[in-house]
Structure 1
Amino acid sequence: MIWDWGYAFEILPAMASASVVTLEITVAGFAVAALLGLVWAVIGLLEIPAVSFAVRLGCEFVRSTPLLIQLFAVYYFLPGYGIVLPAFLTGVVVLGVHYSAYCAEVYRSGFLQVPKGQWEAAIALNLGTRDVLARIILPQAVPPVILPLGNYFVALFKETPVLLAITIIELVATARIIGNDTFRYTEPVTLAGAFFLVLSLAAAQAVRYLDHRMALRTRISRA
């Protein structure tokens, strides 16, 4: 038989354990991406001389270079200059920084949806920049971009197999190791694909639910 259920159930605990590692990296990496992306977007919004230009240039550089090259640069090249990071931390940081460049564009689109009159009214009321962002701009700009941010969360999740290049044993790496040890790849690879499918669908559904709740709350607040 091509598929052996007994063998599949035997390796299932190892695959499930590896999926936890994948989820941990995904959640931590996206937390970094969402936070840094917001920082980059706010700096761009404020048009700070030199700083805003440097941030836009940095984001463009990150988006224009492969994620794998960025991983190699941090994990293999930086130790030559005395900067050594554990593999897990490297994966979280590189994934987070990489996707923060994309999240920044999502936040920027949210900022553009806020009418300019909101800024003018805030200035007329003599509110500080921090108060304007926290009380007026962000509450209006963030809810509409929940869905595209969630799409990047799912995309980041599906990028985690590339971390095999820096020795992180996540879901796909575990499937490969099991296959190499037993010379049976059908079950581990299929289980890895099944885990990715189920978790991706669950994450997408959760994002849609959150987007619906935020949209409903926004409509209620405006009523």
Structure 2
Amino acid sequence: MIDTSLWNWDHVWASLPDMLMAFVKVTLVVTIVGSAIAIVLGLVIALVRRSAPKPISRIVTFLMNFIRMTPLVVQLLFMYYALTSWSPLMVGIAVFGVHYATFMAEVYRAGIDSVPRGQWEATTALSMSPGRTWISVIIPQAVRATVPALGNYVISMFKETPFLVAVSVIDMVGAARAYGADHFRFTEVFIVAGVLFLIASYPTSLLINRLEKRLAY
């Protein structure tokens, strides 16, 4: 007999273990590792664009813009078929990390540009080396200005993990969809998935706000 009720808690509890497992093993892993890659690589891209010789800077800028203007799903599918020796999860992590690195690079660029010109002049007057200027003076100030935007991109990455289904990686939403298809119950599982996303992302936004205030001048 088909259950026609609008809401059934039995389906919530039955679907929750698989959804939580997918959340921990896929959604969180891709978000955390992908964010780490994006944060570091984005800074490298921003520094190369600003400090490298013009030919290298132009090549990096072209590649960055190409990746930014290409849909994430297309990148996932292309790399999935190109890197056949990689697991789908590794492909997903790499694509998410590189994709968001290109956006974070622009955030870093804006942060670097926001450093007062007097700071640059002061490091020159003190005969500081370029490396020490960047590490001790410019980057710390730039990071303070970029924390909110970087945090927003991390949250965006977290919410876009369902795109991993394109490369056969089952995240939390994929697990919810699979349960719903097997039991013809989609209302409960998708609402629970939305609530889990909210429970995870809202504290993250609060943490980012707190970090922003702590790093403020």
Q: TM-score range by the shorter chain?
A: over 0.9
Q: Aligned equivalents of 1:66 and 1:85: distance in 2?
A: 21
Q: Partner residue of 2:178? A: 177
- Root-mean-square deviation over aligned CA pairs: 1.3
Unpaired runs of 5+ in structure 1?
A: none
Q: Aligned equivalents of 2:74 and 2:164: distance in 1?
A: 11
Q: Partner residue of 1:2? A: 6
Paired amino acid for 2:136:
R
Contact between 2:159 and 2:197, CA under 8 Å: does it hold in 1? yes
1:35 matched to 2:35 = no
Contact between 2:111 and 2:145, CA under 8 Å: does it hold in 1? yes
Q: Deviations over 1:193-222 (max 9, x none)?
A: 11112212121111111111111xxx3xxx
Superposed counterparts of 1:54-203, under 5 Å: 54-79=59-84, 84-203=85-204
**Alignment length (residue pairs):** 212
Q: Aligned equivalents of 1:77 and 1:39: distance in 2?
A: 25
Paired amino acid for 1:86:
S
Q: Aligned equivalents of 1:120 and 1:52: distance in 2?
A: 24
Identity of aligned residues (%): 41
Paired amino acid for 2:156:
A
TM-score relative to the length of structure 2: 0.93
Q: Aligned equivalents of 1:151 and 1:187: distance in 2?
A: 28
Q: State the 1:8 CA deviation.
A: 0.7
Q: State the 1:190 CA deviation.
A: 1.3
Superposed counterparts of 1:5-20, under 5 Å: 5-20=9-24
Q: Partner residue of 2:57? A: 52
Paired amino acid for 2:17:
P
Q: Aligned equivalents of 1:75 and 1:195: distance in 2?
A: 28
Q: Aligned equivalents of 1:204 and 1:117: distance in 2?
A: 33
Q: State the 1:124 CA deviation.
A: 3.1
Paired amino acid for 1:209:
R
Runs (4+) of structure 1 exceeding 3 A deviation are none
Q: Aligned equivalents of 1:49 and 1:102: distance in 2?
A: 21
TM-score relative to the length of structure 1: 0.91
Q: Aligned equivalents of 2:127 and 2:213: distance in 1?
A: 34
Q: Aligned equivalents of 1:158 and 1:35: distance in 2?
A: 21
Q: State the 1:47 CA deviation.
A: 4.4
Q: Aligned equivalents of 1:206 and 1:19: distance in 2?
A: 20
Secondary structure, aligned partner of 1:168: coil
Q: State the 1:27 CA deviation.
A: 0.7
Paired amino acid for 2:165:
L
Q: State the 1:137 CA deviation.
A: 0.4
Q: Deviations over 1:68-97 (max 9, x none)?
A: 111111111343xxxx21111111100000
Q: Aligned equivalents of 1:45 and 1:158: distance in 2?
A: 31
Contact between 2:65 and 2:102, CA under 8 Å: does it hold in 1? yes
Unpaired runs of 5+ in structure 2?
A: none
